[in-house]
Amino acid sequence: MIIVYHQHNKVCRVKRDVNDIAFDSKKSIAAILFHNAAAFPEEQLIWCDEKYALFLNIEKIGSLCHHQKIMISYGEQQNLFLQKEMGYIEQSPFLKVNKKVRYPTWIMSTTVGVIHASALTVFEGKISADADFEYFLNSVAKIGMPNGLFCYSEPQLLFKAALKKKQVAISSFTLFRFVKQHFKIRWLFLLLLNLIIFEKRFPLLPFLSAFFFQSRMQPSISFENLEMQSSNVISQKDVTIDVIIPTIGRKKYLYDVLQDLANQTLLPANVIIVEQNPELGSVSELDYLTIETWPFAIKHTFTNQAGACNARNLALDQVTSDWVFLGDDDNRFDSNLIEKMFQKAAQYGTTVVTTNYILKKEIQEFNIIHQSGIFGSGNSFVKTSVLQDIRFDNALEFGYGEDTDFGMQLRNHGQDVIYFPSLKITHLKAPMGGFRTPFVQKWDTEKIQPKPSPTVMYVYKKHFSQEQVKGYQLILFLKLIKKEAVINYLAFHKEFKAKWGVSQYWADILKESKNES
């Protein structure tokens, strides 16, 4: 491995194992990293602030970077660089970083970090070796992450170190330049509008100066040619999997799902079905569960309590296998889905897998394996051992956001959600079962109806930054006001603020009821 030690944005020494490597002190840290990536294409490249040289956990790096497409860093300043203001325009789960665990994020730190030489070489000639090292690292991660580079904040890079908090905010010029080079143009305008509205700032000159910089989104970045085999051992021998399916009034569709499971080249051990029918006195309609013979055990729970969150939690409590497939009662998939999933999980060393999940006639758009900001409770596979303290939040029952919340729980427990486009599940979007009845929420009787749904607001306030909540508010406002006549703008603005306030009120009620339960 190559270690580049730096101080005050300049390289002070470079080592390969115990040997010193000569370097041009006039070059930027990024340029020296590029140079060593070309010279040593099979090595891990490490950067480390000289202040933390004695705290660098070198022996751990091999297991932390278990394949060539990983980029990790750690440092207090990664909570400051770009993160606050970026929340106004990015609604992803990758900004509010949990510093206590390995957490997926493109926000990189100069304190300490690692990238494989072959991964860095992909950027050679595509982006410049910026003199500002922090800008360079965040640029690499921001461009690389959606294209298949796996980026994390990793606290295990350092040990016994009391990190000094770096209380230095970036300049508005750097902020707008970064947005111009890594986002579509419209986000520049949206950022400016957010700063004017929420911070009473009007950085016109930084905004205009950003247009002199060329976008870095255009050059094609691909990591497909990199060797891909995780050194993390996830054995496929004797591995077992349970499938959980909540169902309500979809007898025929569920039967087809069971047939697809029965035809798997690698069979599940148990299929856990939670059947709901809120009509008192009702009984199960799934007679084929006992009439027919199935090549797996079926654990069938019937309940009069409707709700997907409750149903999935009842099923999760019954899981006994190594993995669990979170399914739905209107899915269809090929016979090798489970077998292929295990192959991909072993190849990438991951514990959470989400699949391609499109409608029957929908065209597949996302074709790159990457860290997903989306978690689907009807099309995901999770290693059971990581689910001990994770369940669906019942505060979100009959609302929206339970998938997002579950995914955020996983990330905040040190897991990452990896999307594999070659794993395909077709979502039929079957019509609702005949005995489904509309659920009446407590806020349905409000004179002023909340906007957005209080469950969505609850998830935003629970998992996202204040800037992300405000950014979402402005985006929602702009989407809705487009439908209004100009003459109604003032009245609409007043009404929108009232609806937003009602949503916040009920989100707080949901939080209180959750804390009391």
Q: What is the pLDDT of residues 119-145, one digit of tens each?
A: 999 999 999 999 999 999 999 999 999
Closest-CA residue to 135 (of 186, 191, 180): 180
In 3D space, the residue among 308, 334, 332, 336 whose CA is nearest the CA of residue 245 turns out to be: 308
Give yes or no on whether 2-162 and 241-427 have one common fold: yes
Buried b (16+ CB within 10 A) or exposed e, 154-179: bbebbeebebeebeeebebebbbbbb
Quote the CA–CA distance of 341 and 333 in Å, as a whole number: 12
Per-residue pLDDT at 238 exceeds 90: no
pLDDT bucket at 173, cuts 50 / 70 / 90: very high
State pTM to two decimals.
0.95
pLDDT for residue 184: 95
% of residues, the chain, pLDDT over 90: 85
pLDDT of res. 513: 84
So what's the pLDDT on residue 430? 87
Name residue 32's amino acid: I
CATH number corresponding to 2-162: 3.90.550
Residue 81 pLDDT: 65
Angstrom distance (rounded) from CA 82 to CA 174: 9
Tell me the three-class secondary structure of 296-330, residue by residue: CEEEEEEECCCCHHHHHHHHHCCCCCCEEEECCCC
pLDDT band for 337, please (50, 70, 90 cuts): very high
The 10 Å Cβ neighbour count of residue 245 is: 25
Distances (CA, A) of 273 to 88, 246, 276, 300: 41, 6, 10, 5
Q: Mean per-residue pLDDT for 114-118?
A: 98
- The pLDDT mean for the chain works out to 93
> Per-domain residue ranges for the chain?
2-162, 241-427, 442-516
The pLDDT value recorded for residue 78 is: 46
Does the structure show a pLDDT above 60 at 112?
yes
The pLDDT of residue 315 is 98
Please choose, from the candidates 349, 330, 329, 326, the residue with its C-alpha nearest in 3D space to the C-alpha of residue 338: 326
Which pLDDT band, with edges at 50, 70 and 90, does 516 fall under? low
pLDDT at 167 over 90: no
pLDDT tens digits along 61-104: 999 999 999 999 998 754 456 778 999 999 999 999 999 999 99
User: In the predicted model, what is the mean pLDDT of residues 16-35?
Assistant: 95
Query: Rounded to whole angstroms, what are the CA distances from 516 to 2, 134, 147, 205, 308?
Result: 52, 43, 43, 50, 21
* 87 touches 465 (CB < 8 A): yes
Question: Which of 299, 308, 304, 307 shows the shortest CA–CA distance to 243?
Answer: 299
What average pLDDT does the segment 451-473 reach?
Answer: 97
Between residues 110 and 170, the one the model is more confident about: 110
At residue 432, φ and ψ (nearest 5 deg) are -65, 150
- Residues with Cβ < 8 Å from 510, sequence gap 6 or more? 395, 396, 454, 455, 458
The predicted structure's pLDDT at residue 84: 87
3-state percent breakdown (helix, strand, coil) of the chain, nearest 5: 40, 15, 45
- Return the CATH number of the domain spanning residue range 241-427: 3.90.550.10
Provide DSSP, 326-359: E--TTEEE-TTHHHHHHHHHHHHT-SEEEEEEE-
Residue 279 pLDDT > 50, yes or no? yes
Q: Distance between CA 333 and CA 327 in Å, rounded?
A: 11
How large a percentage of the chain has pLDDT more than 70? Answer: 95
**pLDDT, tens only, 350-406:** 999 999 999 988 888 889 999 999 999 999 999 999 999 999 999 999 999 999 999
How would residue 166 be classed by pLDDT, with cut points 50, 70 and 90?
low
The edge-to-edge listing of strands for the beta sheet with 19-20 is: 19-20, 10-16, 2-7, 44-49, 112-116, 70-74, 150-153, 103-104
